Amino acid sequence: MTKKERVDLILQHFSAQQPEITTELEFGTVFQLLCAVVLSAQCTDRRVNMVTPSLFSRYPSAERMAEAEPEDIYEYISSVSYPNAKAQHLVGLARKIVADYGGEVPKDMDSLTSLPGVGRKTANVMLAVAFDKAAMPVDTHVFRVSHRLGLATGTADTPEKVERQLTRLIPASYLSRAHHWLLLHGRYVCTSRRAHCERCEIASLCPSAGKADKPKGNSRRK
């Protein structure tokens, strides 16, 4: 089986099982999604969803959050990972959005990554989820599953390299959904501690089935 044939079958499977799929983060506006994604760095979506309702109730917009100080934000997000740094990021990005973008979250990669706390992965999430653009955010789950499924080669040892390979391999019409499919598959089935091949519905398409190891390389990115 060629890699393209494997990709086509994997996409067909996920498309049939989960035709409509999106982030598990809870939000009401594009700005709130950006804040939630920043908070989710090295933190679970479940934990983020526990703190954002009260945070967004008090600071629902960039304009409101721009008026806050980091210590104000910290009170709402103290239970997430790296709360001090993330509080500074949220205030900083809110102020920059108000000052430079008229209170609206920008819609391009360069502008997004100019915001405090926003790296390439976070920017790609915004492009894919908020702005419905063909983008492939690569987090630790996508990184791991892509290697185990043989969609990324051994030379793709950074998220950026995996992103480039997946973008070439997966049709643009599937790209954003494929991010969610790979992410959730890694979160619930093909986990970092153990690949649960016995309950994986695409095990027959996986060259690592029964022998999956954690891929090498630095998969952590904002």
**Please, which residues have CB within 8 angstroms of residue 147's CB and are 6 or more apart in sequence?**
154, 156, 162, 208, 215
For the stretch 118-121, contacts whose Cβ atoms lie closer than 8 Å and that sit 24 or more positions apart, written own/partner, are 118/34, 118/38, 118/89, 118/93, 118/222, 119/221, 119/222, 120/159, 120/160, 120/163, 120/221, 120/222, 121/159, 121/221, 121/222
Annotated catalytic residue 121? yes
User: Residues 3, 100, 107, 121: which is the catalytic one?
Assistant: 121
State how far the Cα of 90 lies from the Cα of 34, in Å rounded to an integer: 9
Annotated catalytic residue 139? yes
User: Residues 3, 139, 211, 213: which is the catalytic one?
Assistant: 139
Q: How far is CA 84 from CA 56, 67, 81, in A?
A: 18, 17, 9
State how far the Cα of 179 lies from the Cα of 165, in Å rounded to an integer: 13
Positions annotated as catalytic residues are 121, 139
